[in-house]
Each structure stands twice: as structure tokens, then as C-alpha cells.
Amino acid sequence: MAKRRELPPSEALTSNPFAGLASLRDELPAGAVAVEPAESALAPTPAPRGPARAVVRYQRKGRGGKETTIVEQLGLSPELLDEWCREFKRALGCGGGVEGDQLVFAGDQRKRLPGMLEGKGVRRITLG
């Protein structure tokens, strides 16, 4: 078993708990030090390209008085709609589903959904 190295009290209670690790790097065996990633791996990734438009609207009519938020006019495939629905439900912490070509979420989510849609690459969001 490896012997544990104790740090002096002056280093043990610094504001950065990892500050003392740089000095320990020299004691590692050869080949154990991580190699810096290549320049191409550090290139910024382009923003995701999503649908051109989305309409976010609130609805209670025809749903037994229950509040729902509907996202429509996305023009996505059914598989992609299911994937987006799962991600949004998890992020919003609410229930929901896919009805035809619409995403339906429980409750009034009109304030939170536009930011999430922008993160997915939707360029124009209309609140209705």
C-alpha cells in the first residue's frame, strides 16, 4: 500500500484544496502524467442548428381545466420530437408528451421554454 504524504499545516488549510497537487506531479512514475490535448480537439464547436421556428403557447381549453404549454411548428421527425420531449421534461421537472407534431408539457412553462429552445438552435420563437 502506498504511503500517504501529509501536507504541512500551512498548505493543508488553503482556500484551494488542489493547490498542493502541482508539487506532487513530479513524484509520479513516468507515463502517468496526462498529455495535453491536440490543438484540433480544443477548437470551438459550432452552435447546434435547429428548426427555424417554434411557437410556444398556453392552453386550458379542452383539457379539463388543466394548464398545458404547447410547442408547435418545429418540423422535426417523430424520433427527434421524442428525444427533445424527454430532455425538456427532465430539465423542467414536469410531465408531458408528444401529440402529433406538438410537444405538450404540464403547467405554464412559457417563461422557461424559450431559453431551452434557443439552446437547441431554434432561431425564432413566438410566444402565443
- Whether 103 contacts 122, CB under 8 Å: no
pLDDT in tens, 2-58: 677 776 666 555 567 777 777 777 777 777 656 665 555 556 666 567 788 999 999
Return the exposure string of 10-48: e unless at least 16 CB atoms fall within 10 Å of the residue's CB, then b. eeeeeeeeeeeeeeeeeeeeeeeeeeeeeeeeeeeeeee
pLDDT in tens, 57-101: 999 988 888 999 999 999 889 999 999 999 999 999 999 999 999
In the chain, the domains with their CATH numbers are 15-42 (no CATH), 53-127 (3.30.780.10)
- Whether 117 contacts 71, CB under 8 Å: yes
Give me the torsion for CA of 98, 101, 106, 109, rounded to 10°. Answer: 130
**Helices and strands (H and E) in the chain: how many:** 4, 5
Cα distance between residue 109 and residue 107, in whole Å: 6
Sheet architecture: strand order including 102-106: 96-99, 102-106, 68-72, 53-59, 124-127
Phi then psi for residue 23, to 5 deg, are -70, -25
* Residue 79: all three cell numbers together: 424520433
Place of cell 386550458: 60
